[in-house]
Amino acid sequence: MNATRTLATTARVLRQLRHDPRSIAMMLFVPAVMLVLLYWVFDGKEQQFNSTGASLLGIFPLITMFLVTSIATLRERTSGTLERLLAMPLGKADFIAGYALAFAILAIVQAALATGLAVWALDMSVAGSPWLLLVVALLDALLGTALGLFVSAFATSEFQAVQFMPLVVLPQLLLCGLFAARDTMQPVLEAISNVLPMSYAVDAMNEVLRHTDVTGTFIRDCAIVAGVALLVLALGAATLRRRTA
C-alpha cells in the first residue's frame, strides 16, 4: 500500500464526480427526500416511522454506493483505464482503498444530511447517539462499495451491472427485518436472513434507536457488517487481474 497513490485515486474519483453535479445531488438528496416521503406515509404513526426510518438510514448508503461503485469500476474495466493503471506501479489495494475512501467521504455527507433531517426536522426519536447512526451508515457504505466492486467483475455492460442491484440488494432488503421481524419468519428464511449482512446493518440501527448505551449487540452487528465488507473487498481485489485474456 502506498498512501500517495491511494489518496491520488481518491482525489481523482472525487474530481470525476465534481464534473457530474447531477449525480452528486441525487446521491446526497434522494435519501433525504425519501425520508420526508416516509414521514408523510406514516403520518402520525411515530413508532413505525422511527423503526422504518432508522432502517432506511442504514439501507440508503448501501444501495447508493453499490450502484456507483459497480458502474464506476465497470467503466474502469471497459475503458481500458484499469488495464493502464495495472500496467503502472499501482497496487490493487491502493486502487480499492482509493475508491473506498472517496465513496466513504460521500457516504458520510449523505448520511449526515439524512440523519440530521430525520432527527431534527422529522422528530425521529433516537434513544442512543445519532453519531452511532452515522457509524453504521458508514459501514453500510463500505459494504455497498465492496459488493459493487465485486459484482462489476461479472458484468460486461452497464445494463448487466444495474441488474445486479435487484439481485444482490432486494433479497437482503426483503429479509432484513424491515417488512417482517426476522424472528417471526419461516425458519429457512430466517436462516437466510442470518447470513445476509444487511440484516445486521438494520439490526444495528434499531439498537441505536432503542438503547441509550452502546450495546453488545450493536458492537457485534457493526463487527459483522465491517467483517463482511472487508471479506468482499478482498474478493473484489482478487477480480482485479493484471493479466487478462
Partner 1 sequence: MMNLSDEPAIRARGLRVIRGSRQVLDGLDFDVPRGQITGLLGPSGCGKSTLMRAVVGTQAKVTGDLTVFGEPAGSAPLRSRIGYVTQAASVYRDLTARQNLEYFAAILGIPRKEARTQVEQALADVDLTDHAEALTANLSGGQLSRVSLAVALLGAPELLVLDEPTVGLDPVLRRDLWNLFHRIASEREAAILVSSHVMDEAERCHRLLLMRSGRIIADDDPDALRVRMGTATVEEAFLKIVDAEKAAEIEKGSAVQ
Q: Does 20 bind partner 1 (CB under 8 A)?
A: yes
**Residue 148 and residue 245: Cα distance in Å, rounded?**
23
Could you say which of 3, 167, 188, 245 contacts partner 1 (CB under 8 A)?
A: 245
Q: Does 157 bind partner 1 (CB under 8 A)?
A: no
**Residue 1 and residue 95: Cα distance in Å, rounded?**
9
Q: Positive or negative, the Cα torsion across 211, 212, 213, 214? A: positive
Nearest-approach distance from CB 71 to partner 1, in angstroms? 12
Picking from 34, 113, 104, 92, the residue whose alpha carbon sits closest to that of residue 65 is: 104
Three cell numbers written together for 177: 427485518
Q: Does 5 bind partner 1 (CB under 8 A)?
A: yes
Q: Does 21 bind partner 1 (CB under 8 A)?
A: no
**Residue 110 and residue 7: Cα distance in Å, rounded?**
21
Nearest-approach distance from CB 134 to partner 1, in angstroms? 29
Residues that contact partner 1, how many (by CB under 8 A): 27
**Residue 35 and residue 142: Cα distance in Å, rounded?**
21
Could you say which of 81, 156, 157, 163 contacts partner 1 (CB under 8 A)?
A: 81
Instruction: List contacts with partner 1 (CB under 8 A).
Output: 2, 4-5, 8-9, 11-12, 15-16, 19-20, 79-81, 83-90, 241-245
